[in-house]
Structure 1
Amino acid sequence: MSVTTDVKTYFNYINGEWVAASTDQLDASISPANRHEIVGYVQKSGKDDLDRAVEAAKHAQIAWRKLSGAARGDYLYKAANALERRLDEIAECMTREMGKTFPEAKGETARGVAILRYYAGEGMRKIGDVIPSSDSEAFMFTTRAPLGVVGVITPWNFPVAIPIWKMAPALIYGNAVVIKPAQETAVTAAKVIECFQEAGLPAGVVNMVTGPGSVIGQAIIDHPGINGITFTGSDTVGKNVGLGALKRGAKYQLEMGGKNPVIVANDADLDQAVEATISGGLRSTGQKCTATSRVIVQSEVYEAFKEKLIASVKQLKVGDGLHGETWMGPCASENQLNTVLSYIEKGIAEGATLLYGGKRIEDGELGNGFYVEPTVFENVTSKMAIAQEEIFGPVLALIKVETLEEAVEIANDVAFGLSASIFTKNIGSMLSFVNEMDAGLVRINAESAGVELQAPFGGMKQSSSHSREQGQAAIEFFTAIKTVFVKP
C-alpha cells in the first residue's frame, strides 16, 4: 500500500492541453527510497498519441519560427521564473522519484533556471556572417534556419537539467519540441513542462508524450514529421536512434555515456584528489554519465591515497535523499540496483579485490529501498568488465601504475571518451594530459563530473555522435546554415 496520500495521474501535454492517452494504460512512478511509495502515475501512450503531438508541433512551429529571437527569449525568461518559483517543489519531486539528495536536486533545478536564462539571451545574438562575394555588385551573407520539429529523448538521471538543456536551445532557434522523458522520472518532467505552460508558450510549441521507449521512442525515431532527434542514454539505444534517423535523413545528436578516469600523479594533493574522486564518483549514487569510475594512481602514492579514500568513503551516510544527514541516496530503480550488484559480482569473479562495500543495504527502513553500499575495488586490470563497461553506480575501480604515460594509456583504453581528470602540480603533466587524453571534457585538479552550462559538452569515441550540446555550440545542431546571395 502506498504511503502517499495524494497520488496524481499526469497526462500528456499536446497542443497546449493536458490530455489522456489513447491506451488508458498507466505506469506507477515508484520512489527508489521506499518501493511502497507511489510518487504519481504516468501514461503508457501509444503511437497515435505521438502522431498527435507531432502534428501539433508542425503546425505551431510555422508561427513560432517567425517570432524574433528576442520574443522567443521572453518566453524562456518567463519559464525560468516559473521554474524558480517552484524550485523546492520540483526538487523534492525529483528526490522522491529518482533518489538523489535534496541539495543535489535543488542544485540541478537551479541549473535548469540558469540554462533557460542563458538561452533566452541567445535570442539576441548574431546568427550569421557577411561573406565577401566575387561579384562586386552582390551582397552575400549567412543566416540560420530551424530544423522544424525536434524530438527530445531524455534519461532519468537528470530529469530537469537534461530536458531543459535540449529544449531551451531548440526553442530559442525557432524549433518546436516533442519530448519523451524517461518513464521513471516522468512526474518530474511533467512539472517542468508545467513551467513552460505557465510561461504562456503558444499551443503546440512544446509537447510531451510519456510511454515506453520501445513504443514512443521508436515512434520518434521513425516519424517523418520529426526533423531532428536529440538523445541522451545508453550507447545501445543511442546507436538505434542514429541508425533510424540516418535511414530517413533526419538530423541526430547522441550522448551515450562514459567510463571516466581520474589520474592521481605522484605530486598530487592527495586530500584534494580524494575529495574530488568521491564527489565525482559517488554523488548521485554514481548515476552520472560523467561520473568517475576508474581511479588510476601512481605507485608512489597509491597506498597513501587508498588509505585516505577508504577512510573517507566509510564516513558517507547512505539514506533517503530527503533526510538532511544523507550524503548518498538509493539507486534510481530496482533494475539499476540489480545492474550495479551484477557488476560487483563480475568484479569479484574476475579477480579484483573488494576493499569496501559491495552489498545491498537491507537494514531497517533502507530495506524498502534500492540502496547499495559505496564500493571500492583494487587490483583491477584494464580488461576487466568493471574497468571497461559503464556501471552507472557507486563503484570505484583502483588501478595502480608506475608512470603517467602508462596512466594515460590505460585511461584511453576504453570504448568511451566523455570526461577525464588528472591531479598533478606539474604543468608539463597537465599539458601532456590535455593533448593525449581522448575525451571531450578534460579537467585539471577537479572532479570528472563538472559540466558548465555555457561550455560545449560532448564526448569522443562511443560517447557521442561527435556533436556538442550546451553553450553557443548548441546552435550547430538545432539549426542549418543558409547562405544568401543578393544581387540588385
Structure 2
Amino acid sequence: MNVRPEEQLAGSNERRSKHKHRTYAHYINGRSVPPASGEYFTSYDPFNGEAWAEVARGTAVDVDIAVEAARKAFPAWRAMTPTARGRLLLRLADLIEEKAEFLAEIEVRDNGKLFAEMSAQTRYMAGWYRYFGGLADKIEGSVVASDKVGHFNFTRHEPLGVIAMITPWNSPLLLLAWKLPAALAAGNTAVIKPSEFTSASTIEFMSLFKEAGFPDGVVNALTGFGAEVGAPLVAHKSIAKIAFTGSDESGQRIYEQAARNLKPVSLELGGKSPNIVFEDSKLDSAVMGVVSGIFAATGQTCIAGSRLLVQRSIHDVFMDKLLAVAKGARIGDPMDLATNVGPVTTPPQFEKVRTYIEIARAEGARCVHGGGPVDVPGGTGNQFIAPTIFTGVDNSMRIAREEVFGPILSVIPFDDEEDALRIANDSEFGLAAGVWTSDMGRMLRMSEALEAGTVWVNTYRAVSFTSPFGGYKRSGLGRESGMESIREFLQTKSVWVATQMDVQNPFIIR
C-alpha cells in the first residue's frame, strides 16, 4: 500500500481550509431556523478529527414545525401544473452543476470519502433532477376498457402528500437525489432528515431550492439524532410515506413503526453482494471490477462486492493479480485527488470494521493483505483501515454473511456455475451482484438466476437516473431511479362516470 507524504497534501489542505467553523440550523419553510431547544452538536472531519461545524440538534418540536410547513405547502404545490414543477427541477439541476465542487468539499469534510468521487457524484446527481424534471408532465392515467355498459372508467395518479426522507452518511446528496426529485415531480412535498454524522451538505444544498424559485415549505430539512428527530418524523400523523436508506436493522424498525399507521415505505437497505469471477473472464478487467466493488469508497457502500467468488481453477492466479493491485492503493487525505482509499467515516463504524477483522481471524479465515488500522500523515482522526483481503472463507462465516460496510473482502472459491449460484444466493440480502465471464449464455443464465435487484456483467458500481435500483429479500422494498420509481410517490384513483342515467335496481351492484 502507498501513503501520500505530507508535502504532497498542500492542495487538499487548501481545499479543506475553506470550510471551517460553520454553524448549521434547520431549513424550514424557506429559511434557516435555529433548533427549538437551542442545542447544537459538533461535526468532526474523519481525516484529521477537527471539529469543523456545529449542527442543530432537533427535537419533536422541530419535527412538528417542519411537517406543518410541508403540509401547508402541499395543496399549492400539487395544484401547480406538472410542467411548472418540472421547470423548477430543471433550474435546480443547473444550479447543482454550478455548485458541485463546493457541495463535494462539504461532503468530504463530513464523511471523509474521496473528493474525486464526491465531486463526480455531485456533478452527476444533477441528472436525477433533470430526468424527473422532464418526467413531471408525463405522468399519465389511462382509460380502462370497461365491461360495464353505460359507464366510462379512467385512472388518475395523484401525489401522496408529505414524504419523510431519511438518508445515510455515506453519500448523502446522491442518495437524496434517488428520492427527492421523483417525489417532487409527482407533486409531493418533503421533510428530509440526513444522518447526524453528515448533515452539513444537505443543509448547504437547501439554499439552492430558494435560489431556483421553489415555493417555501415544499422542501424542508431537519438535523439531529435518530431517536430525537427520525423516530418522531416517522411516527408523525401528517407524514404520508417514508423513504429510507440505511441498515436493514434500522429499516426494519422504521417498517414496524410505519405499519402501526399503515404508511407506505420504500427501503433501500444493506447488502452482502457477490462478485463472481469465472475462469473464462478477462482477468485483468475482473480484478479492477473487484477492487472497485470493495475498496472504492473505503467499502462504505450498500452495493459493496464484499464476497468475491472466484472459480477454483483460477483462484491462485487471480489472487496474485488482485493482491498486486490492492498493494498499490494509495491511502491518505480524501481531499487529495491522488488518494484511492480514505478514512472510515465514523468512530463507531471504524470500531465495527476492526471487530469484524478479528471475528474473521477467529473463524479461521486467512488474512493475506491489510488486516488492521494504518497511520497516515496528517490523518490524526485515526480512522484508517487498510484494504483487507481474507482467503479461506466459507460462506457460513459471519464475515461472509453480515454486512461490514468497510474495506474488507472475503474470498470464496467455487467449482462451477451451479456452485457459484448456490453460494451467491445463500444470503438474506439481495441488493446487487457482479458476474465476470466471456460466455454470453452464462451472462444471461446468471443474470436470471441471481437473487439480486441489480446484476452487473463485466462491470460493477454502474448506476444511472434512468435505471431502477432496489433490493431483494432484506435489502429493501420498492425501487429508486428510473421511470417506474415515480410510482413510489403516487397513488392511483379509479374514476367511474355514468353515461346513462337510468338505474334499474339500486339494491344490486352495478
TM-score (norm 2): 0.93
1:141-290 equivalences in 2 (<5 Å):
141-290=154-303
Aligned-pair distance for 1:240? 0.7
Deviation at 1:3, TM superposition (A): 7.4
How far, CA to CA, are the matches of 2:381 and 2:190 in structure 1?
38
| Cα contact 1:4–1:39 (8 A) shared by 2 | no
Q: Say if 1:361 and 1:367, in contact at 8 Å, map to a contact too.
A: no
- Change in 2 beyond 3 A, CA 1:355/1:291: same
CA distance, structure 2, for counterparts of residue 329 and residue 196 of structure 1: 31
2:354 match: secondary structure: helix
Gaps of 5+ in 2: 1-15, 500-510
Q: Distance in 1 between matches of 2:371 and 2:20?
A: 36
Give how far 1:369 is off. Answer: 3.6
Contact conserved, 1:3 with 1:38, CA < 8 A, in 2? no
Distance 1:363 1:184 in 2: 22
Q: Equivalents in 2 of 1:16, 1:76: separation in Å?
A: 16
Instruction: Out of 133-142 and 195-204, give the one that drifted further.
Output: 133-142
Q: 1:166-222 CA distances to partner (integer Å, 9 max, x unpaired)? A: 111111101110010111110011111111121121111111111101111101121
1:480 to 488, 491, 494: 491
Question: 2:33 is aligned with what amino acid?
Answer: V
Question: Counterparts of 1:58 and 1:368 in 2: how far apart (Å)?
Answer: 42
Match of 1:458 among 467, 470, 480: 470
1:354 is matched with 367
The code of the aligned residue for 1:272 comes to S
State the match for 1:32 in structure 2.
46
Shift of 1:146: 0.5
- Provide the C-alpha distance between the structure 2 equivalents of 1:475 and 1:137, rounded to a whole number of angstroms: 33
Letter of the aligned partner of 2:479 in structure 1? R
Residue 448 of structure 2 is matched in structure 1 by 435
Say yes or no: does 1:374 pair with 2:379.
no
Shift of 1:337: 1.0
Matched ranges for 1:7-22 at <5 A: 7-22=21-36
Find the residue that maps to 2:172 and give its secondary structure: coil
| 1:107 to partner: Cα distance | 1.1
User: Residue 429 of structure 2 contacts residue 473 of structure 2 at CA under 8 Å; is this kept in 1?
Assistant: yes
- Please give the residue correspondences for 1:50-89 in structure 2 after superposition, counting only pairs within 5 Å: 50-89=63-102
How far residue 136 of structure 1 moved from its aligned partner, in angstroms, is 4.7
Residue 447 of structure 2 aligns to which amino acid in structure 1? V
CA shift in 2, pair 1:123/1:5, >3 Å: closer
CA, structure 1 residues 161+5, in 2 after alignment: closer, same or farther (shift >3 Å)? Answer: closer
Q: Which has the larger radius of gyration?
A: 2
Describe the SS at the equivalent of 1:443: strand
- Helix, strand or coil at the partner of 2:137: coil
RMSD: 1.4
C-alpha contact 1:4 1:38 (8 A) present in aligned 2: no
Deviation above 6 Å: which 4+ runs of structure 1?
2-5
8 Å CA contact 1:177–1:207 kept in 2: the answer is: yes
Q: Out of 295, 308, 312, which is 1:299 matched to?
A: 312
- Say whether the 8 Å CA contact 1:362–1:368 is kept in structure 2: no
Measured in 1, the distance between the counterparts of 2:136 and 2:487 equals 15
Cα distance, 1:5 vs. partner? 7.5
Give the structure 2 partner of residue 94 of structure 1: 107
What is the deviation of 1:485? Answer: 1.7
What is the identity, as a one-letter code, of the residue corresponding to 2:480?
Answer: E
Matched residue, 1:468:
479
- Look up the equivalent residue of 2:293 and give its one-letter code: G
Contact 1:80 1:113 survives alignment (8 Å): yes
Letter in 2 for 1:487: A
Which residue does the alignment assign to 2:118? 105
Q: Secondary structure at the match of 1:184?
A: coil
Match in the other structure for 1:43 = 56
Say if 1:100 and 1:329, in contact at 8 Å, map to a contact too: yes
How many corresponding residue pairs? Answer: 484
Secondary structure at 1:332 match in 2 = coil
Seq. identity, %: 38
Tell me which amino acid in the other structure corresponds to 1:60: A
Deviation at 1:443, TM superposition (A): 1.3
Q: Provide Cα deviations, 1:239-272, integer angstroms capped at 9, x if missing partner.
A: 0111111111111111111000111111111101
SS of equivalent to 1:292: coil
Alpha-carbon distance in 2 for matches of 1:193, 1:363: 34
CA distance in 2, matches of 1:408, 1:425: 17
Deviations 1:10-69 (A, max 9, x none): 11111111110111111111111110x233211111100000111111110011000111
SS of 2:139's equivalent in the other structure is: coil
2 CA distance for matches of 1:476 and 1:76?
Answer: 18
Partner letter of residue 10 of structure 1?
Y
Match of 2:355 in 1: 342
Partner of 2:5: none
1:356 CA drift (Å): 0.3
